[in-house]
Structure 1
Amino acid sequence: MVLLSSTALWLGALGLIFYFFVKRITEWQRLRHIPGPFLAGWTDIWLLRHVIPGTLCTKLVDVCNEYGRLARIGPNWVVCGDAVEVQRIWSIRSGFSRTPWYKATRLDPEEDNVLTELDTKRHHQRRAKLVPAYAAKGLDNQERLVDEQVSKLIDLIDRKYISSPTTVKPCDMGRVMQYLTQDIITAVGFGKPAGYLDADEDMLGILETCESLLAPGHIIMFLPLVRRILESGILKPFLPKPTDDRGIGGLLGLIKSHVDTRYGDSKVHGKDMLQSFVDSGLTRPQVEAESLVTLFGGTDSTSTALRMTIFFLSTNMSAYRRLQAEIDAAVVSASRPIIADEHVKRLPFLQACIREGMRLWPPSMALLPKMSEIDQIVCGQAVPAGTYIGWSGLTVMKDKETFGDNADIFEPARWLEAEPEELKKMEGVYGLVFATGTGWECLGKKLAYVELGKVLFELFLRYDFSMVNAMHPFDWINHGFTIHRGMHVSITKRES
Structure 2
Amino acid sequence: MAFGYGGKDNDNLEAAIDREILVFVDLLERKYLSTASEYRPVDLARKVQYLTLDVISALAFSKRFGYMEKDDDLYSYIEMTEASLPAMMFLCLFPWLAKVLQSPVCRRLMPSERDPVGFGRFIAVAKQIVHERLTSDQPKRRDMLGSFLAHGLTREEAEGETLLQVIAGSDTTATALRTTMLYLMSSPAAYLRLTQEIRVAAAEGRISSAVVTDAESRELPYLQAVIKEGMRINPPVAGTMDVVVPEGGDTICGYSVPGGTEIGCSEFGAQHLESVYGPDADVFRPERWLEAEAAAKEGGQPDIDRLRQMNLTWGLIFKAGKWQCLGKEVALIELNKVFVELLRRFDFTLVNASKPWNSMNAGIFIQSDLFTKITRAEPL
TM-score (norm 1): 0.70
Contact residue 189 and residue 272 of structure 1 kept, 8 A: yes
Quote the sequence identity (%): 36
In structure 2, the residue matched to 1:142 is: 13
Aligned partner of 1:119 in structure 2 is none
Counterpart-to-counterpart distance in 2, 1:366 and 1:412: 24
How far is the alpha carbon of 1:457 from its aligned partner?
0.4
Q: What's 1:426 paired with? A: 310
| CA–CA distance in structure 1, aligned partners of residues 120 and 249 of structure 2 | 43
Contact 1:191–1:270 (Cα < 8 Å) also in 2 = no
In structure 2, the CA distance between the partners of 1:257 and 1:325, relative to structure 1 (3 Å rule), is same
CA distance in 2, matches of 1:375, 1:339: 48
1:448 alignment counterpart: 331
Q: Which amino acid aligns with 1:428?
A: L
* Residue 242 of structure 2 is aligned to residue 369 of structure 1: yes
Q: Distance in 1 between matches of 2:249 and 2:158?
A: 37
* Aligned counterpart, 2:319: 435
Tell me which residue corresponds to 2:301. Answer: none
Deviation of 1:451 after TM superposition, in Å, equals 0.5
How many Å apart are 1:385 and its aligned residue?
A: 5.2
* Distance (whole Å) between structure 1 residues aligned to residue 200 and residue 88 of structure 2: 46
1:24-39 alignment to 2 at 5 Å? Answer: none
Write the letter of the residue equivalent to 1:470: A
Calculate the aligned-residue CA RMSD, in Å: 2.0
Match among 275, 286, 297 for residue 401 of structure 1:
275
How far residue 338 of structure 1 moved from its aligned partner, in angstroms, is 0.5
Identify the residue that residue 236 of structure 1 maps to in structure 2: 107
How many pairs align?
Answer: 366
1:475 Cα offset (Å): 3.0
Mapping of 1:287-436 within 5 angstroms?
Answer: 287-331=158-202, 332-372=205-245, 373-374=247-248, 376-383=250-257, 386-418=260-292, 419-420=295-296, 421=304, 422-436=306-320
**Cα gap change, 1:371 to 1:269, in 2 (>3 Å):** closer
List alignment gaps of at least 5 residues for structure 1.
1-129
Give the structure 2 partner of residue 492 of structure 1: 375
1:192-341 equivalence runs, <5 A: 192-232=63-103, 234-264=105-135, 268-331=139-202, 332-341=205-214
Counterpart check, 1:477 vs 2:360: yes
SS at match of 1:169: coil
Amino acid aligned to 2:206: S
1:191·1:271 contact (CA, 8 Å) conserved in 2?
Answer: no
Q: Which amino acid aligns with 2:32?
A: Y
Q: Which digits, 9 at most, give the CA deviation of each residue in 1:241-294, with x for residues without a partner? A: 333322222211211221112223756553311111111111111111111111
Mapping for residues 52-91 of structure 1, pairs under 5 Å: none
Q: Looking at CA atoms only, which structure, 1 or 2, has the larger radius of gyration?
A: 1
Checking the alignment, whether the CA contact within 8 Å between 1:476 and 1:482 is kept in structure 2 is no
- 8 Å CA contact 2:229–2:286 kept in 1: the answer is yes
Once residues 220 and 81 of structure 2 are traced to their aligned partners in structure 1, the CA distance between those partners, rounded to angstroms, is 35
1:459 counterpart letter in structure 2: L
Structure 2, unaligned runs of 5 or more:
297-303
C-alpha distance in 1 between matches for 2:142 and 2:244: 39
Determine if contact 2:139/2:146 at 8 Å carries over to the other structure. no
| Contact residue 5 and residue 326 of structure 2 kept, 8 A | yes
- Return closer, same or farther for 1:159/1:423 CA change in 2, 3 Å cut-off: same
Q: Which amino acid aligns with 1:344?
A: S
1:203 deviates by 1.4
CA distance in 1, matches of 2:207, 2:104: 54
Calculate the TM-score normalised by the size of structure 2.
0.90
Amino acid at match of 2:165: T
State the match for 1:466 in structure 2.
349
Cα distance in 2, alignment partners of residues 203 and 371 from structure 1: 37
Q: Matched residue of 1:248: which SS?
A: helix
CA distance in 2: counterparts of 1:238 and 1:474, whole angstroms: 31
Q: Distance in 1 between the 2:340 and 2:94 partners?
A: 43
State the AA in 2 paired with 1:336: S
| Aligned-partner SS, 2:355 | coil
- Using the TM superposition, give the Cα deviation of residue 462 of structure 1 relative to its aligned residue in structure 2, in angstroms: 1.0
